[in-house]
Amino acid sequence: MNPLSYKSGRAPLSPGGPAHPAPAEDEEFIAQEHFELWHRFCENKTAVFGLVVLVIIILAALTANLFLDPNLVTLQDAYSRGLAPFQHSEAELERIAAGESIITHILGTDGYGRDIFVRIIFGARSSLTIAFATIAISCVAGLIFGVGAGYFGGVLDTVVMRIVDVFMCLPPLLFSLSIVSALGNGMGNLILAVSITMTPFFTRVVRATVLSVASMDYIEAARANGATHLHIILRHLIPNCMGPIIVEATISLSSMIMIAAGLSFIGMGVLPPSPEWGAMLNESREFMRDAPWMVLAPGLTIMITALSFNLVGDGLRDALDPRLKK
């Protein structure tokens, strides 16, 4: 092999001009990079554990209709109120004796006789929808503002970052509560409120990454070759910003779930009778002395989900850290 050829899968330099990429070798190099990234991620056992938990929660939410009756989410039974886990009411015991198939209350029932396990599974749809929709809006908005401020600089950078500084001075939960109070209850308004709250954090991360990338030699070379601003942004800046954005998004998902649950807990989020983990905590707080499982079930679900997102985010951060490459 020509000693002047690149080790990164590029074709050797030709005397008549610059090197041209070899598509097959480039694809093999990218696949190897992805494999090394996945290998470094799997070396972090806690991150793998968090990923497994998240996969189970997401699959349970997506396939809930296959093994659970959606009508059980809002079905109230006055004779089954406050049942402990794996306990049945007298009416249900009579139906079981008669040969009927009765659902087992794995986590007990709430104050309205609704099965807590079923509501947690279907409530995962609401909580995860809020989290992922919020992260998508925040990432896109933060990418636009961050790239604009970091690449063009000047007055635009000053104006954007001063606005970001003002928003970041406000506590996220309090800021979201103010927006929801102005817009009204509902999942759509909750998603919008949390998205506005989290956008400044992504804007700051993207701007810092763009500032470091924009000073690279290949960006100056692209400008010297007559590349447009749009080409530089789409071809060079945004791809190099994706790593920090993915890590920040994964870690921020736990905060978004906590904020959404907190707003629903005080009655400013998802409207009943739709199941949502924070709303379930609010409905069961008056029974926490006599029936603590009503509070523990949604509370532990929120904690485990938020912890899993944090573990996966930490694992991605370590895997994407260039200093860990061998």
Neighbour tally for 249: CB within 10 Å: 24
User: Nearest to residue 282, comparing CAs of 306, 261, 301?
Assistant: 261
Q: Which uninterrupted H or E stretch holds 66?
A: helix 64-67
CA distances from 263 to 126, 198, 257, 314 (A): 13, 15, 10, 26
Q: What is the model's pLDDT at position 141? A: 92
User: Nearest to residue 185, comparing CAs of 258, 266, 285, 259?
Assistant: 266
Q: Which CATH architecture has domain 44-74+117-324?
A: Orthogonal Bundle (1.10)
Q: What is the model's pLDDT at position 11? A: 43
Residue 254, both tokens: 């736990």
**What's the distance, Cα to Cα, between the start and end of the chain in Å?**
24
Q: What is the model's pLDDT at position 29? A: 53
**For tokens 């001009």, what's the residue?**
17
Kindly give the parts of the chain with pLDDT less than 50. 1-22, 324-326
Q: What is the model's pLDDT at position 126? A: 87
Q: ω before 292 within 30° of 0 (cis)?
A: no
Q: What is the model's pLDDT at position 308? A: 92
CA distances from 1 to 4, 14, 23 (A): 9, 13, 18
Domain spans in the chain, listed from the N-terminal domain onward: 44-74+117-324
